[in-house]
Structure 1
Amino acid sequence: SKEAVETNKDIEQLLLSIQKAFDVLVEKRTDFEAKDVKEALQGSVKTQTTLLSFVDEHISELSTHEGIDMSKSSVWTYRKIRKNLAEFIGEKYRLTDLAFGQLTEPFISDFHHYLLDEKGFSSGTITIYVSLFKKMCRIAFERGLCKNLLFAHYRVGTPKVTTPKSLSMSDFIKIRDVELPEDKPRLSVSRDLFLFACYAGTAFIDTVSITKANVKVLEDGDKWLIYNRKKTGTLARVKLLPEALELMAKYEDGARDTLFPLLSTNRVRIDLITICKLAETSKTYSYHSGRHSFASLITLEAGVPMETICKMLGHKDVKMTQRYARVTQKKLFEDMDKFIAATEKDFILAL
């Protein structure tokens, strides 16, 4: 099967990495134990220079030039790159750092997509971040901290459009309705947090941070979720669907101010992998897919204008919303039917 082939590739890559770590230690001509191989494999600072430790050193060097031949804003930009690199490594590799020896060519492309799809940065910001990251890798190579000149051939442009991250209606129903093991109650909590993202368009950090004070009853008499996004500070406003209100009521707790219990993003990510397997979905989804599904499956397909979805998601730019909300085939067919019905009387076929 395809999954078996991919698993075998991962195993082969892991074995190669272990062999590489072993060879590095052999070259040092000193005694070592199995734990030393493990540390070398994980990019321990004892055996290899790590990416983020070098970035920290580089920023420290630049800071000494601040106000002389380096502006304060430039140093700040490097710090932002460092922050996003750390978050990317944590989310993708579940590590706090990576050794230069662990970096492969796909790393920079994956980082590029992360900045675009997960962080929502503009193409201009991404170009600056990726270019400066390449520059730091070149400096590390020139100083002998890594054996290869990494990412030298990577062109800093807009990456090709990735597959939409929204759930299909079939997969959404499977995740919503799948029976979860009663002896693992946390799976149900993780699923409910994910479903809330589908119903309200919230990012994970916002889902576990919003409080009862963020729920307002407006002039229309309905309950609205009004909050400032943690990532950007932008105001987001969305009318709460009955399904979202049911989830909120399910977890209402007078001893807790937040709407939902706090789980870590890594814990929910792992739980979603399990849930998708149990539900037999067509692919594994991340928590952020719930936010994409709100944009495409829940709102756009129901006829909500893109500009309105932009406000609901708390986006600063409708262009970002367009990357979230993709026109489904069902929506395309419905819109074409409406178009034909509205214009068929005006067309005169002439032979």
Structure 2
Amino acid sequence: MQTSQSFGIHFTTRPDKAKDGKEPIYACVTVNKQRAYIALKQNVDPKNWDGGKGAAKGNKDEVKSINNYLEEVRLAIGNCYKELQLKRKMLSAKAIKDLYLGEEAEVYSLSRLITYHNETSTTDLKWSTLRHYYVTQRYLVKFLEDQHHASDIYLHQLDFKFVKDFEVYLRNHKPKDHQKPLNNNGVMKHIIRLKKMVNLALNLQWITNDPFATYKLKILKVNREQLSEKELADMEKKKLSIERLDMVRDMFVFCCYTGLSYVDMINLTPGHIIAGSDGERWIRTCREKTLIPVNVPLLPQALTILDKYKDNIRSLSNGRVFPTVSNQKVNSYLKEIADLCGITKNVTFHIARHTFATTVTLSNGVPIETVSKILGHTKITTTQIYAKVVERKLKEDMNALKLRIGSSTL
């Protein structure tokens, strides 16, 4: 571990604890501006104390004895500092004090916290979520190298400035590969992950001060995109001669009519298609992200696509409803499909879920509570971000209002 440290020892007295005209002497240990006081077994007449030098003054044998003792203490504390360095343990004023008093305590680092979080979160978080913490970890490592010239930092060194500097670093970071610079909400996601790990440290009592106590997250509301009714119809009707594009279009449209996410669609097996009490076919599965049960009645458009792939060799070979294709390739192919369909929006696979929530269901009068249930949301507020009223629905509602107002005046 490489960290730059400032270390100092100074002796002082405590007038408020004076007894019999003498004040007790304390050793003040400072590491990176953090202090720890050690009570020594020596008292001194304030007349014989030089506060600036931190030493007794005069030529009396008693004064010389005190100063000799203080030099021994200085040497012993210095040795504690060196010992912690050699053992590559965490350096702090408190750690040096504890070692000097024979009460060596463990001090924790940011890298240890991240490792502990990632190791203990494997049962709580899906890999699709946990992998984002590894990305945040890489940004933190790079930040420490570039801004602190260190490979790690002690948890007690985390403060508001560290968090703010990390935010500024992320905003100014210019990737050297194909990645785009982070937007505001992308930066905030990394800050949120750091905050969650710091909260873990607080709960573990690895630190006592919360560096996020006065920090305010700045999340911007995003206008979620979806296909309009015409755009969805154009994509459905488009004749695609390239097999890979035709397949991805079918997957996308299937999710537009079921509300499934990419990962839930790609993991769909024939066993997830069941006959409901109404005699119709339903999807019964659990969301990969949250493990929330999802029951979706299949609309005719989804059934047509489902039947198209029931004998697909690639689907049958892996026991899935659809052939397996990576999310990265799917999103790449969708851009080609959008161009062929004359759709100018930035179409990604997650837009299918937005389209289901708005164009297919909410704009056709399906109650938001029903949409929330189908999407597998635990809170209605989560669904409300999709509840964007499209122009056609707004016009229908206003026409209905006109009719009600007109009839009431008769």
Query: TM-score under structure 1 normalisation?
Result: 0.61
- Identify which of structures 1 and 2 has the higher relative contact order when contacts are C-alpha pairs closer than 8 Å and 6+ apart: 1
The superposition leaves residues 57-84 of structure 1 with CA deviations (integer Å, 9 ceiling, x where unpaired) of 5523xx4xxxxxxxx899759x969974
Matching of residue 156 in structure 1 with residue 217 in structure 2: yes
Q: 2:333 aligns with which of 268, 271, 283?
A: 271
Q: Secondary structure at the match of 1:262?
A: coil
| 1:173 is the counterpart of 2:233 | yes
SS at match of 2:385: helix
Matches within 5 A, 1:292-307: 292-307=354-369
Q: Indicate conservation of the 8 Å contact 2:255/2:356, yes or no.
A: yes
Is residue 251 of structure 2 the alignment partner of residue 251 of structure 1? no
Give the Cα separation in 1 of the matches to 2:170 and 2:246. 36
C-alpha contact 1:295 1:309 (8 A) present in aligned 2: yes
Q: Which has the higher strand share?
A: 2
Give how far 1:192 is off. Answer: 0.9
Change over 3 Å in CA distance of 1:340–1:109 after alignment to 2: same
Give the residue type in structure 2 aligned to 1:199: Y
Other-structure match for 2:193: 129
Does 2:387 align with 1:325?
Answer: yes
Q: What does residue 138 of structure 1 align with?
A: none
* Larger CA deviation: 335-344 vs 280-289: 335-344
Q: Deviations over 1:147-200 (max 9, x none)?
A: xxxxxx98404x2321122112232233223333x3x31111111111111011
Deviation at 1:269, TM superposition (A): 1.0
Q: State the alpha-carbon separation in 2 of the partners of residues 216 and 161 from structure 1.
A: 38
SS state of the match for residue 357, structure 2? Answer: helix
- Asked whether the 8 Å contact 1:215–1:224 carries over to 2, the reply is yes
| 277-286 vs 337-346, greater mean Cα deviation | 337-346
**Alignment check: 8 A CA contact 1:226 1:236 kept:** yes
Letter paired with 2:279:
G
Query: Are the aligned partners of 2:362 and 2:371 in contact in 1 as well (CA < 8 Å)?
Result: yes
Task: Give the match's secondary structure for 1:216.
Answer: strand
- 1:112/1:130 contact within 8 Å kept: no
Q: Which amino acid aligns with 1:156?
A: L
Aligned residues: 251
Which has a greater percent of helix?
Answer: 1
Q: Is the 8 A contact 1:216 1:223 kept in 2?
A: yes
Secondary structure at 2:407's aligned position in 1?
Answer: coil
CA contact (8 A) 2:231 2:343 kept: yes
Question: For residues 72-115 of structure 1, what are the alpha-carbon distances to aligned partners after superposition, in whole Å with 9 as ceiling and x for unaligned?
Answer: 899759x969974744998xxxxx966547943463623267x6
Q: Does the 8 Å CA contact 1:88/1:111 hold for their aligned counterparts?
A: no
Distance 2:128 2:285 in 1: 24
The structure number with the bigger radius of gyration is 2
TM-score by length of 2: 0.53
* Paired amino acid for 2:114: I
Residue 295 of structure 2 aligns to a residue whose secondary structure is strand
Gaps of 5+ in 2: 1-108, 147-168, 173-180, 200-213
Number of the residue aligned with 1:340: 402
RMSD across aligned positions (CA): 3.8
User: What pairs with 1:1-351 in structure 2 (closer than 5 Å)?
Assistant: 58-60=113-115, 63=116, 76=121, 84=129, 86-87=131-132, 99-100=142-143, 103-105=170-172, 107=182, 109-111=184-186, 128-129=192-193, 131=195, 155-157=216-218, 159-180=219-240, 182=241, 184-253=242-311, 254-347=316-409
The share of aligned pairs that are identical, in percent, is 29
For 1:328 and 1:345, the matched residues in 2 are separated by 26
